[in-house]
Structures are given as structure tokens and as C-alpha cells.
């Protein structure tokens, strides 16, 4: 492989994300990040990491593999995921994954069904275009509520979705800790020097552990593989989407209507992304990546991948 020219790792790669947020020596970074997401609604003082791979107790033995799975000293459960590829059933996936931290709380014998809170954080590197969300917002907090009163019915199950790709603030516009973290998530690998806005104490730690020059040979190889997989996926998606948009415009032009062009562009983009995802999965499979990794990277089902 060609030498990596970046100074810092990309947090959008599987390796980079887990190195920063999924390892015990760096749990202070995860605690700080989660606290900024909750913005004072809760304060996490300490965390312990749990097994990130869970096997279902149903006959299919369906697995759930989290990027990060941890719990606070108060027993609250947190799963944190980075999703780069658009996934049709992302909401279903996050709801399904939330059932594992819920079910594992059931002890043997008699039980009064009291549960500790479960929080699912999904960082997505694409626009979700979810009708229920404020399209101008980047972060979205979802809870069970009464549809008439709009009041929270159950406050111990919460989903937080962060559309990282929507964040477009420049270095000079970073004010809050939240701004700084999302900026780092999106742009760390592009930086050659630390911006003045990211000179807080917590970011001293981030830049220290994210510096590629500090990696062991084994860590460097693992990061190179992860970075290549991420770039291949992104290039495949971008290329296929571009072709799909062009095709859609041509269809709309043939129909001779602006509305037709817009609809064709949207349909073509969706078709292009689907084609790009399939191509990415095929490439990852040929590179020797495991089924679980390909599922996470592309959002495809195991059956779809096995057919490639």
C-alpha cells in the first residue's frame, strides 16, 4: 500500500472511530463526547466498556455487533455507531440493536421488570431525509411519546441521530464543545495542524492518540486496510450516484418538464447509490472483509452479500 500522507486518522473509518471512542484508555474522550451530545440533560461521570458482540437468543442466532457498547456507573447503557453508507432500514436497525441492552438486564428468576435506561447514538455520514426530523437540524433526539400531548411517555429509551455530513461550520465558527466535536469527526484527517478552536484540554488527548506517527506497525496496517475500505466505498457511492443523477436528468429532459427532471434526478441518485453499495460490497468481499464488516459498511443483508 502507498504511504499514508495524512497526519491524523479519519474518525469516519471503522479503525479510527473505535480507536478514539471504543478503547478503555481513551474513555475520557467518549465521556466528553457523550456529555456534549446530551448538553446537560445528563452528566456521565465514568463508563465501562461491555462486550460489543451479542448473539441473539432466537433460532437464527442473529448477531448484533456494536462499534461501541458501554455503561455508566449508574447502570445506563450506551451504544454508539458510525454509519457511512445510506441504509434503507437504519431506524429498524437501531431499534433492533437497542433490544440487546434491554434484554440482557433480565435476571434469572423473579423480576419486577425495572430497567436501566438505554441510549442509542447513531452518527451518520449522509443526509437521512427523515420526514419526522427538522431538516435544518443536525442532531435529533427521539423518545416514545404520546402522539396527542407530545409528552414523553417513556424516558428510559432514547435514540440520538447525528447527521455529520450536514455540519458545515468553518474553524472560525466553532463556539460550543458540540461544534468542535462534530467538526473533528468530519475533518480530523484533513488537518495538518490543530486549529486554535481545538486547543481545549480534551482535544490535547484526541490529537495525541489520533496521530498516525505514533502507531505501531500492526496498528498502521489495520488503519491502512480500514482507510482503503472507507475510500473504496465512498468512491463507489459517489461515482454510481453521479451516473444515476446524469441518467435521471436525461430522463427528465426527455419528458420535457422541470418536474420530470427533478424526479428523474432523485430517482437516478437513489438508483446510483444502490448500485454503488452493491459494488462496494463486492469489492470488500473480494478484499477478504468479513460478512459482519460488510453489513456494517453497506447496510446490505447477509443474503444479499452471499449472492455476490
Closest CA to 3 of 248, 227, 188, 300: 227
Q: Which of 188, 291, 278 is nearest to 233 (CA)?
A: 278
Place of cell 451504544: 79
Cβ of 185: how many Cβ atoms within 10 Å?
22
Would strands 63-65 and 53-55 be described as parallel, antiparallel, or unpaired?
A: antiparallel
Q: What is the pLDDT of residues 28-48, one digit of tens each?
A: 999 999 999 999 899 999 999
Residue 1 has pLDDT above 60, yes or no: no
Please state the pTM of the whole predicted model: 0.77
- pLDDT tens readout for residues 46-62: 999 987 765 444 434 44
Amino acid at each position: 500500500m502507498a504511504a499514508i500522507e495524512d497526519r491524523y486518522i479519519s474518525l469516519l473509518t471503522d479503525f479510527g472511530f473505535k480507536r478514539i471512542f471504543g478503547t478503555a484508555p481513551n474513555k475520557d474522550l467518549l465521556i466528553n463526547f457523550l456529555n456534549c451530545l446530551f448538553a446537560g440533560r445528563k452528566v456521565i461521570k465514568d463508563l465501562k466498556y461491555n462486550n460489543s458482540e451479542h448473539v441473539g437468543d432466537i433460532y437464527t442466532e442473529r448477531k448484533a455487533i456494536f462499534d461501541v457498547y458501554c455503561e455508566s456507573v449508574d447502570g445506563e447503557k450506551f451504544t454508539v455507531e458510525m454509519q457511512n453508507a445510506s441504509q434503507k432500514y437504519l431506524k429498524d436497525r437501531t431499534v433492533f440493536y437497542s433490544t440487546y441492552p434491554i434484554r440482557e438486564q433480565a435476571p434469572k428468576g423473579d423480576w419486577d421488570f425495572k430497567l436501566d435506561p438505554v441510549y442509542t447514538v447513531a452518527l451518520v455520514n449522509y443526509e437521512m431525509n427523515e420526514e419526522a426530523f427538522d431538516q435544518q437540524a443536525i442532531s435529533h433526539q427521539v423518545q416514545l411519546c404520546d402522539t396527542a400531548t407530545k409528552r414523553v411517555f417513556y424516558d428510559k429509551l432514547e435514540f440520538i441521530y447525528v447527521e455529520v455530513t450536514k455540519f458545515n461550520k468553518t474553524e472560525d465558527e466553532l463556539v460550543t464543545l458540540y461544534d468542535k466535536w462534530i467538526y473533528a469527526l468530519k475533518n480530523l484527517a484533513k488537518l495538518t495542524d490543530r486549529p486554535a478552536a481545538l486547543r481545549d484540554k480534551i482535544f490535547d488527548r484526541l490529537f495525541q492518540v489520533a496521530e498516525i506517527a505514533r502507531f505501531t506497525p500492526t496498528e498502521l496496517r489495520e488503519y491502512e486496510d480500514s482507510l482503503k475500505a472507507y475510500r473504496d466505498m465512498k468512491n463507489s457511492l459517489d461515482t454510481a450516484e453521479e451516473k444515476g443523477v446524469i441518467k435521471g436528468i436525461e430522463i427528465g429532459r426527455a419528458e420535457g418538464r422541470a418536474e420530470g427532471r427533478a424526479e428523474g434526478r432523485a430517482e437516478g441518485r437513489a438508483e446510483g447509490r444502490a448500485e454503488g453499495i452493491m459494488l462496494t460490497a463486492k469489492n470488500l468481499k473480494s478484499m477478504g472483509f468479513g460478512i459482519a464488516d460488510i453489513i456494517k459498511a453497506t447496510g446490505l443483508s447477509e443474503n444479499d452479500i452471499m449472492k455476490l
